[in-house]
Amino acid sequence: MISLSKQQRGFTLIEMLVVLVITSLTASLLVSGLESTWRNFEKLGARNLKTTAAQLPKIWFTQSVESMVLRHPNTSMFSGNATDLSFSTLTPPDMPGPGVYKLHWRLRADGNRTALLYRHDTEETYTSLGYVDGSGVFEYLTSQGWQRAYSPSNGRIPEAIRIQSNNQEWVMALPIRPTDAEMPAELRAFGKYEF
C-alpha cells in the first residue's frame, strides 16, 4: 500500500467551500459594479445628447455664417434686418451636398420665445431649428457698430452677426472668409466683371 504524506494531500472540503464563497462574492460585486457603471454611462450619454441637441441651432447658425461667401464684388449677395437674414454659404444646415447655397434665416415670435427658422433658396417653407428665450433679433457688426439692419451697396458682408435676446447675446458668429470682395486686376482694363 502506498501511504500519502501530509504534503501530498489535497484541499479539504472546508477550504474548497471557502474558495467558492470568496469567488462568488467577488463575482457578484464585480457584476453589480459593472451594472452601476453602465447605468452611469447611459445617464451621462443621455445628458450629453440633450446638451448637444440644445446647442445644435447655435452650431448650425455659426457654421453657416463662418462659411459665408461673396459671389460678386459689385452686387450684394447679403441682406439682413432684425428678423430676416439672407446670404450665400458653403455649409447650410442639413448639408444637402457640396456647393454654394443661398440660405435664409428668420426669427419669428412664438409666445414668450422666438423661433429660429431657416430655408434654402430652393425650398418653399421654413424649417424650425430651435428657440431663443425672449425676444430675439439679428444684429450686424459694421464700422459704425452693431446695427439691426444691413444692406450693403457693394459686395461687402458684415464683420460679425449675432442673435440678441433680451439684451443678451444668444450666439455670435464671425465670417472666416474675407468681408470685402476681391477685385480682379482685369476689371479695370475691361470695365466689366462677369461670372
DSSP string, 23-66: HHHHHHHHHHHHHHHHHHHHHHHHHHHHHHHHHHHHHHHHHHHH
Residue type, 81: N
Neighbour count for residue 159 (Cβ, 10 Å): 12
Model pTM? 0.65
Show Cβ contacts of residue 37 under 8 Å, excluding neighbours closer than 6 positions.
none
Q: Using a pLDDT cut of 90, give the percent of the chain over it.
A: 29
pLDDT exceeds cutoff 90 at 164: yes
Query: Cα–Cα distance between 193 and 175 in angstroms, integer?
Result: 24
| pLDDT class of 153 with cuts at 50, 70, 90 | low
Mean pLDDT of 60-65: 90
What size, in residues, is the chain? 195
Query: Cα–Cα distance between 118 and 106 in angstroms, integer?
Result: 6
Q: For cell 467558492, what's the residue? A: 20
Q: What is the pLDDT of residues 10-35, one digit of tens each?
A: 778 888 899 999 999 999 888 888 88
Q: What is the pLDDT of residue 93?
A: 85
Q: What is the pLDDT of residue 195?
A: 43
SS3 8: helix
Query: Cα–Cα distance between 161 and 66 in angstroms, integer?
Result: 10
Long-range contacts of 61-64, Cβ-Cβ distance < 8 Å, separation of 24 or more: 61/105, 61/116, 61/129, 61/163, 61/171, 61/173, 62/171, 62/173, 63/91, 64/89, 64/91, 64/92, 64/93, 64/103, 64/105, 64/118, 64/173
